[in-house]
Amino acid sequence: MNSIEKFPQSDPEAQIIIDLMDGFRASKAVFTAVSLGIFDHLHEKPQNCEALSRVLGCVPDALERLLGACAAFHLLRIEKGNYHNEPVATRFLRLHSPESLTGYMLSSDRLLYRLWAHLESAVREGTHRWKQEFGQKEGIFDHFFSTEADKKTFLAGMHGHGLMSSPAVVAAFDLSRFRHLADLGGGTGHLVIEACHRFPQLSGTVFDLPSVTPVSRDYVRKANLEDRIQFVSGDFFSDPLPPADLYSMGRILHDWSDEKVQFLLQKTFEHLPEQGALLIGEKILNETRDGPANAYLQSLNMLVCTEGKERTASEYEALTRAAGFRRFESRSTGQPVDAMLAVK
């Protein structure tokens, strides 16, 4: 009888490092699958590798490796030789899914992945990498909005993120005393939409750049809230803010330096009535500066592509109090974005 030699289990500490080394490979594999439209095609019709390779114009052997990785990530399953989407891929990795994150993934693949290649330079110099990678000084939004298709792709991705975070952000505090919410840099309007669903007394305004407003209108129309949500186009740095007793900024302040954040906070404070408030949605760093990991990864992302960063709750409190706000509260939501409320 042959004996089976027993080998020691892998070193769990070594596995931590191996998983970290594999991290960028996993991201790029999924980015590529999304870019090829694999999950969209398989949603229409499960197929084997040969058939799918003809549709996508790929070499079968190479495509099989990518499909195998996606199956190992539990994004696909194989039944009788055909690949099928798992529910998670159907929800988040198809271009036309209501919960799609593909827009953010495609932007990450085509822009952020390239900027992250220069992380060492960013850490040494403390500045973003647009000029180093693209040869231009312009930053994140100029690239994300460079074409109509790019703009819609990016905003769709942010909408998918918002669908996860906005319900928790608007539920973090009792907003029933407020009457009108203006979301500054509101994008597709996901936060205002969720707030109006949760608080029937609220009406809302989506405030964003003129090029974004038509996209915002489409999302609000689909939510059947055109009678309660209006639109104002403008730049929150240079244009007057729409009137409101509650402002919100979701994933806005982390794009900017402390000086520009202070300017925006001061501006919102001046436009608010007494007892008015500012609802802030950002990922909050631990006060002990040791996590969460996803918040620090996002802060590094801000380093390579903006002038901003993620901050602790106490840092946000100090910034809001310097602008004049008298009360500050923060809530961990367990979602990609946490919630803070500053009251005038």
Query: Rounded to the nearest 5°, which phi and psi values hold at 190?
Result: -60, -35
Residue 3 has pLDDT above 60, yes or no: no
Buried b (16+ CB within 10 A) or exposed e, 98-119: eebbbbbbbbbbebbeebbebe
45: amino acid identity, one letter:
K
> Is 129:304 a contact under the CB 8 Å cutoff?
yes
Measured distance CA(180)–CA(239) in Å, rounded: 19
Predicted confidence at residue 202, as pLDDT, reads 97
Candidate list 41, 143, 254, 271, residue with the active-site label: 254
pTM for this model (two decimals): 0.92
What pLDDT, on the 0 to 100 scale, is given for residue 90? Answer: 97
Q: What does the pLDDT look like over 198-244, one tens digit per residue? A: 999 999 999 999 999 999 999 999 999 999 999 999 999 999 999 99
CA 93 – CA 105 distance, rounded (Å):
9
Distance CA 175, CA 171 (A): 8
The H or E element spanning position 77 is strand 76-79
Please determine, for residue 152, whether its predicted confidence score (pLDDT) is greater than 90. no
Strand partners, 168: none
Domains of the chain, start order? 12-92 (1.10.10.10), 162-343 (3.40.50.150)
3-state secondary structure 275-343: CCEEEEEECEECCCCCCCHHHHHHHHHHHHHCCCCCEEHHHHHHHHHHHCCCEEEEECCCCCCEEEEEE
Residue 128 annotated in active site? no
For residues 281 and 250, the answer to whether their CB atoms sit within 8 Å is: yes
**What average pLDDT does the segment 308-314 reach?**
98
